[in-house]
Amino acid sequence: PAPRTVLLTGAAGGLGTLMRGLLPAYGYDLRLLDMVPVEGEPDAIVADLADRDALREAVRGVDAVIHLAGISLEASFEKILKANIEGTYHLYEAAREEGVDRIVFASSNHAIGWTPYPKDGEPLIPVTTPRRPDTFYGLSKGFGEDLAQFYWDKHGMETVSVRIGSCFPEPTSVRMLSVWMSPEDGARLFHAALTAEEIGHTVVYGSSANTRLWWDLDSARALGYEPRDDSEPYAEKLVADHGELDPADPAQASVGGHFLTTPPIWPR
Ligand code: NAI
Ligand code: 15L
């Protein structure tokens, strides 16, 4: 049967807030979790991903998990280790212990950030491209994808790892014209990831059907995802304001954009 009760981690964040608004229309009963209170949601569980007991209770009885919680930008390795690497492990362990066998994992384009984007008719980036993380953050997303593969092979728990481009209400940069995922397409993709059958561990890119798309959406479409949006209507103004991307600039030549030139953040 299709999952109905879904735990949404990271519910207070940007994407979590968008998905809290959009996913109930698909018939889901969302249980919310974040380390900070979720505005307007007094029933949301306030817990850190380090709290295994709280995670076990949070996943008890749900049909699936959408795992968005974590640090969503570059940070020190120590912080990334705790929230994204250990935190994602704790979440999978809690799900295993409670028999929850479907997870949608918010991976990121920064797992392949050093990959040059296709120029002049070059082929789209396949989902099988070698990972080239551009930050400790991107590295943690590669770990999450491997963790998902391991829990499938070892324990039969299914995951769709969604390498999200940029999911915000509107594209706000020229790079985002290629990687944008409209919130509505995001909800369509998460719904497909929750309901597709026999997925094992599937890696997909998460974006709309952008005219300037850089990667291959075939594995997402195979789940039943049909994107309906395209960033192109935003192109004229963004290009007029900022110019086209300059492949000679290291911060504009590869998928990860300015994450490539973000200096490593060391702990104080
Ligand atoms: P965000 O930073 O707005 O939200 C993340 C949420 O996770 C926050 O509410 C935060 O309180 C919570 N969180 C952080 N550490 C936690 C911990 N240890 N325990 C419990 N909760 C914790 O990020 P956003 O944009 O909403 O992204 C959500 C997820 O999607 C993240 O995993 C991010 O890496 C991923 N992603 C998002 C993209 C986007 O375009 N928004 C692009 C690619 C990936
Ligand atoms: C991400 O992984 C970040 O979480 C998000 O805030 C954006 O920076 C996005 O990638 C992006 O690449 O635009």
Q: Mind listing the pLDDT tens digit for each residue in 70-98? A: 999 999 999 999 999 999 999 999 999 99
- In the predicted model, residues of the chain with pLDDT beneath 70 are 268
Exposed e or buried b per residue across 89-99, where buried means at least 16 C-beta atoms within 10 angstroms of its C-beta? bbbbebbbebe
Locate the DSSP E strands across 115-222.
158-164, 201-206
Select 5-261's CATH number: 3.40.50.720, 2.120.10.30, 3.40.1000.10, 3.40.190.10: 3.40.50.720
Give the ligand with the smallest distance to the CA of 258. 2
CB of 166 sitting under 6 A from ligand 1 = yes
CB of 254 sitting under 6 A from ligand 2 = no
Predicted interface score ipTM higher than 0.95: yes
Cα 119 to averaged position of ligand 1 atoms, centre (Å): 31
Give the ligand with the smallest distance to the CA of 140. 1
Cα 155 to averaged position of ligand 2 atoms, centre (Å): 30
The domain locations on the chain are: 5-261
- Minimal-distance CA residue to ligand 1 atom 1: 13
Residue in 12, 45, 7 with CA at minimum distance from that of residue 29? 7
pLDDT at 268: 53
With beta carbons less than 8 A apart as the criterion, state whether 261 and 190 touch: no
pLDDT at 67: 99
Cα 122 to averaged position of ligand 2 atoms, centre (Å): 24
pLDDT at 266: 78
Ligand 2 atom with the shortest distance to the CA of 14: 6
